Amino acid sequence: MIAARLQSEPFDSAIVQAALLAGRTDLGAAVAFTGLVRADEGLVALTLEHYPAMTLAQMQAIAADAAVRWPNTIGTIIHRHGRLLPGDSIVLVVTASPHRAHAFAAAQFLMDWLKTKAPFWKREEWADGTTRWVEAKGIDDAAAERW
């Protein structure tokens, strides 16, 4: 089971990981990936727009796909929306598995698919008052293609 959550509030990765591992005795490996707002020179804020009716459903579909590919792996994915500041956390992917290779692979798969399949759009606000929509990166498509 890989659960998905969509929220504007911050998350605490330690609490999420502890909740995921609680009561399980067969897990030898946990991977927690955190995506952060990089404080690129002059960046004031990042706003994540999303598609309310579709985004969580898409996250759940990606999670279900990962759970089929790695049946022994459990996880939680959390994606924030709204206005975030440099250094803030954007996304959390926690996976846990009997063996580390599966925990790493599932976490990378989930991140690659969140980057290319979850309907979020990032708008940057700069110190000079301009705003800019972040362009999708070919490298993210390439990363998602490998699965």
Partner 1 sequence: MMQLLYFAWVREMVGTDSETITLPADITTVAALLDWLATRSPGHAAALADRSRIRIAVDQGFATPATPLNNPREIAIFPPVTGG
Question: Which residues sit at the interface with partner 1, rule CB under 8 A?
Answer: 35, 48-51, 53-54, 57, 79, 90-91, 111, 114-123, 133-136, 140
Residue 82 interacts with which of partner 1, a copy of itself, none, CB < 5 to 8 Å by class = none
To partner 1, the closest distance from the beta carbon of 58 in angstroms equals: 8
The amino acid sitting at 84 is L
Closer to a copy of itself by Cβ: residue 28 or 52:
28
- Beta carbons of 5 and 80 less than 8 angstroms apart: no
To partner 1, the closest distance from the beta carbon of 48 in angstroms equals: 7
Residue 38 interacts with which of partner 1, a copy of itself, none, CB < 5 to 8 Å by class = a copy of itself
Closer to partner 1 by Cβ: residue 67 or 144:
144
Measured CA to CA, the distance from residue 86 to residue 38 in angstroms comes to: 6
Residue 129 interacts with which of a copy of itself, partner 1, none, CB < 5 to 8 Å by class = none
Binding site for a copy of itself (CB under 8 A): 12-14, 17, 21, 25-40, 86-87, 98, 100-101, 103-104, 107-108, 111, 139, 143
